[in-house]
Structure 1
Amino acid sequence: MTSYSKGFRTLPLERHVESLPVRGRIPDWLDGTLIRNGPACFEDSRPALRHWFDGLAMVHAFTFDGARVSYRNRYLDSSARRSVATTGVLRHGQFATDPCGSFFGRVFSSFFRREEVPNANVNIARIGGRTLALTEVPLAVQFDPATLRTVGVTPLGERETRHATAHPHVDPETGDAITFALKFGRHSEYRVYRHGDSPEVVCSIPWRLPGYVHSFAVTARHVVLVVFPFVVDPLALLLRRKPFIENYRWRPELGTGIVVVETRTGRVVRRCTTEPFFAFHHVNAWDEGDDVVFEVSAYDDASVIDSLYLDRLTARGSIPLARIRRYRVSHDAVTFAPVGSASLELPRINSAAHARPHSYCYGVGSHDEHGGDFLDQLVKLDARTGTATTWYEPGRYPGEAVFVPAPDGTAEDSGVLLSVVLNPGDDNSFLLVLDASSLREIARVVVPHAIPFGFHGLYTT
């Protein structure tokens, strides 16, 4: 077993702690709540969950009130969670675990009925005044940000769409939320949505062999959809008795498709193909004249998905590492260049730089250039020079770094980074507060238990 295996261990406790021990000094202006999402139940079901992305969702909240930091955690009240809690049997298929045998058969039966609550273990977003937990289905789960109590289900697409992004964006011109979802079928298509009072289709993009797409990007004027050659034949989803992701195949000869859509009109202004690569996360995107520029945390192929099965993660081994690439889409060509050489996943920026050129990107990386000790350091990447600054302590495993701007700051990196760090040696976790400019530690807030590795979060005031 690896030292970080405790990050993939079930957390059975739900608790509320009024005041956590603080080492250092919390900035006076930090007076909001960091809400984190991620899997927290792995071992308690039959069949056993197989992949990091399968774990049952738990939300965590750290609330700052002067020098005091309180903590609360709660399982999302999903259909899968209720099934496991009451019977010990998983009756709802997940990313790589499917007790029903056929994912597509389940999709067209009960999983997407509105009374079902998905296992929304990926992200947190605010849409239409609601706090939502998201996963890769077009249903979001609303919860109370104060108590973390599950409230209900909110559709983020049409009933016939089956796969969706867990990373909505805000249209810089209108402030509306923008998402996409995928309709599988004989004629599959990606649908881009604008969210006002209800989801409205901006554009439908036909795709013969749809690829697995986790996120996308927006600029001031465009939606950018990147479809990697990790693809599925929709008929295979219907006929193969395999979990969802195991129906996908790496087909590098197809190349990576890029579609640029004019947000206001829904018109496709560019559709092109570039060399094969894979990514979970976009960093940012912007317009430069008639060109569109976007950055991603890129892998050479999709083998990273296989490396995240729980039996592999808890055994001694390495994981593929993502590195930032900057792509430029012009009228007649697609070009790209690396941005530095540091590994960086779960990228975040100062939201004030959204949809325009940014100077800095923050994320998790590996101190070992081969990924031999999982993701064990925080990285600040200068997007102008490619220079990386890191925070690293041996035997500590940080999560996504959420940037919070200082109220009187003028520089893009004036503020703090918040990251939940696993400390397996003490069997607990702590919330790390770093100066975003220097990555100097300001404070750490100790939690009385180990928090399983999560994915994404939101700081709200």
Structure 2
Amino acid sequence: MERRAFLQSLAVLALASGCPLALAAESATAAFARRLRQAPWLLGFMGLAEDQQPLAMKVQGRFPAELRGTLYRNGPALMARGNERNEHWFDGDGMVQAFRLDGAKASHQGRFVRTPKFLKEQKAGRFLLPATGTYRQAEVPMGTNDDINTANINVIPFAGKLLALWEGGSATELDPDSLATLGQRTWAPGLEHMPFSAHPIRDKDGSLFNFGAAPFAGEPAVMLYHLAPDGRLRNSKLLALPFGGYMHDFAASDRYLVLLNSSCVYQGGRTYVEGFAWQGQRPSQLLLVDKHSLELVRTLEVPASFAFHFAGAEERGGELWVTLCRYRDASMMLSGMKELLATGQSQASQATLAQFRVNLASGKVDLWDSGLDMEFPGRDWRQAQHQGWVFGAGSSGQAQSLLSDALVAYDPLRQQVHRHVYGPGIVVEEPRFIAKAGAKAGQGYLLHSFLDYRRRQSGLAVLDLANLAGGPIAMAHMDRVLPLGFHGSFVAA
């Protein structure tokens, strides 16, 4: 497939729009306020309208010396303009948060990413462009998918810059100190506006692998990238796909990049999200790509699956184990997030920690499912995954909403589940692993942000991975409500 034809087809994403939203007799703002009284956890989706200036946080305990540095986080933050609100969690403009830690001190700062979309709509004081999941007509000309880039999923340090990442377009460079937006990043001539996912994988040599999926293209395809540690492009490859399944994340073993071409297939619709349909009768595909050449070497059928996030891949004893948080269908993306914002509740299926175990000789794939509710998974990447903990945000089973209220970890050696439940009113966000100085692999801390919607506070907590039941070692909070976000990175001072 020619890159030029692929680039031209990207306009399909930008032009997937329809008629303006009609405001009901009750404005969207008033309706949300009413729902908030009934479901107070919706406070996490209320959104912000302004940058958040540096603010000292109140600290209980002391953050370990290894946590002296900055936790950067990203997520949808601008959810409303005037009386119109976004209806899907994916739609809000991104705000990068910086939590700066130093022993008994902690502070917070937040700044909107100044994408072209944000600047145009900020000047107009209203929404002008289509959204990922909210049906809205374009009121200004559009040329590429970057015209609707919200830079709202992840934030990572790479090649001396801080990158705010979306999944349908370019990375956006930020200044790590001020969080000021420096502009969109193109990795090489001819790759302008190409999809660049929010989940790159850093290899052992410091280089970066990533993909960019375009299920909406005339011929569904995925772009593969390999970037040197200094940001130069080492290799790229455009792979045609047999069908356009939704892809958000991927995994890597010593030899392979592993992508899941899910059974949530793009067929076209009023919005990007509405363009997908769950095809439960269609097997999903594991795509094995050679890391050196970026050539597709094997396609394996697996049970119909959907996943946002992976926890790694490992080659062991002639098998390839691919660990992920697997959904039995795509209802969380297709309807669940809109239901949650509309009512505070949803009947969408939940993710469980699971594993595809591939016999590399025969191609036979077995599916193992732990039954453990988990999302936003992570692990200590220095350890083989059959030996190290997999941890993430989970559930006690007692929460009033489907939002996470616990930190969970699975020990594969002992086949045990460890959990810390925060109790009513707390929503747990993605944990990040920080190794203990001088300790063995697997020994470290879990740092995560949280929302306390009853006290109308946001904060941070740090726990010892080996003693989750013991609860937080230190916590920091502030009388500032931050929107629930997606992903981030810890950068040591």
**Counterpart in 2 of 1:166?**
198
**Counterpart in 2 of 1:126?**
157
Is 2:380 the counterpart of 1:346? Answer: no
Distance 1:337 1:187, change over 3 A: closer
- Output the amino acid matched with 2:304: P
**Counterpart in 2 of 1:324?**
353
8 Å contact from structure 1 (residues 339, 383) kept in 2: no
**Counterpart in 1 of 2:172?**
141
Deviation of 1:86 after TM superposition, in Å, equals 2.3
**Counterpart in 2 of 1:110?**
143
Q: 1:252 & 1:18 partners in 2: Cα distance?
A: 48
**Counterpart in 1 of 2:246?**
212
Residue of 167, 172, 187 corresponding to 2:219: 187
Deviation of 1:418 after TM superposition, in Å, equals 1.2
Distance 1:98 1:45, change over 3 A: farther
Alignment of 1:59-458 (within 5 A): 59-100=96-137, 109-112=142-145, 116=147, 118-155=149-186, 159=191, 163-172=195-204, 174-183=205-214, 184-196=216-228, 197-233=231-267, 236=268, 240=269, 242-305=270-333, 306-309=335-338, 312=341, 314-330=343-359, 331-338=361-368, 340-353=370-383, 357-368=386-397, 372-392=401-421, 393-412=423-442, 414-439=443-468, 440-458=471-489
Is 2:77 the counterpart of 1:40? Answer: yes
Q: 2:97 & 2:308 partners in 1: Cα distance?
A: 23
8 Å contact from structure 1 (residues 318, 371) kept in 2: no
8 Å contact from structure 1 (residues 162, 182) kept in 2: no
- Output the amino acid matched with 1:407: A
Q: 1:295 & 1:377 partners in 2: Cα distance?
A: 20
Deviation of 1:93 after TM superposition, in Å, equals 2.4
Q: 2:81 & 2:103 partners in 1: Cα distance?
A: 39
Q: 2:390 & 2:76 partners in 1: Cα distance?
A: 25
8 Å contact from structure 1 (residues 189, 204) kept in 2: yes
Deviation of 1:311 after TM superposition, in Å, equals 5.4
8 Å contact from structure 2 (residues 305, 327) kept in 1: yes
Deviation of 1:373 after TM superposition, in Å, equals 4.2
Residues 340-367 of structure 1 show CA distances to partners (whole Å, capped at 9, x for unaligned) of 33200010111323x7544211111122
- Output the amino acid matched with 1:399: E
- Output the amino acid matched with 1:388: V
8 Å contact from structure 2 (residues 41, 344) kept in 1: no
TM-score of the aligned structures, taking structure 2 as reference length: 0.84
Q: 1:199 & 1:373 partners in 2: Cα distance?
A: 41
Distance 1:69 1:370, change over 3 A: closer
Aligned length: 446
RMSD (Å) for aligned C-alpha atoms: 2.5
Deviation of 1:160 after TM superposition, in Å, equals 7.5
Q: 1:56 & 1:201 partners in 2: Cα distance?
A: 31
Percent identity between matched residues is: 26
- Output the amino acid matched with 1:259: L
Distance 1:143 1:384, change over 3 A: same
Q: Which moved more, 1:308-317 or 1:361-370?
A: 308-317
Name the SS for the 1:220 alignment partner. Answer: coil
**Counterpart in 1 of 2:33?**
none
Q: Structure 2 regions of 5+ residues with no counterpart?
A: 1-37
8 Å contact from structure 2 (residues 260, 285) kept in 1: yes
Deviation of 1:433 after TM superposition, in Å, equals 1.4
Deviation of 1:161 after TM superposition, in Å, equals 6.8
Deviation of 1:223 after TM superposition, in Å, equals 0.6
Residues 145-173 of structure 1 show CA distances to partners (whole Å, capped at 9, x for unaligned) of 1111111111358548754421000233x
Q: 2:187 & 2:130 partners in 1: Cα distance?
A: 20
Name the SS for the 2:119 alignment partner. Answer: helix
- Output the amino acid matched with 2:201: H
Q: 1:95 & 1:310 partners in 2: Cα distance?
A: 15
Distance 1:45 1:436, change over 3 A: farther
8 Å contact from structure 2 (residues 201, 208) kept in 1: yes
8 Å contact from structure 1 (residues 138, 155) kept in 2: no
Q: 1:360 & 1:86 partners in 2: Cα distance?
A: 47
Q: Which moved more, 1:212-221 or 1:71-80?
A: 71-80
Distance 1:214 1:25, change over 3 A: same
**Counterpart in 1 of 2:16?**
none
Q: 1:45 & 1:150 partners in 2: Cα distance?
A: 25
- Output the amino acid matched with 1:139: S
- Output the amino acid matched with 1:286: E
Q: Which moved more, 1:367-376 or 1:57-66?
A: 367-376
Deviation of 1:375 after TM superposition, in Å, equals 1.6
**Counterpart in 1 of 2:26?**
none
- Output the amino acid matched with 1:153: Q
Deviation of 1:310 after TM superposition, in Å, equals 5.8
8 Å contact from structure 1 (residues 52, 310) kept in 2: no
8 Å contact from structure 2 (residues 344, 401) kept in 1: no
Residues 119-150 of structure 1 show CA distances to partners (whole Å, capped at 9, x for unaligned) of 11101122322210101123011111111111
Residue of 14, 18, 23 corresponding to 2:51: 14
Name the SS for the 1:309 alignment partner. Answer: helix
Q: 2:379 & 2:82 partners in 1: Cα distance?
A: 37
Q: 2:131 & 2:387 partners in 1: Cα distance?
A: 36
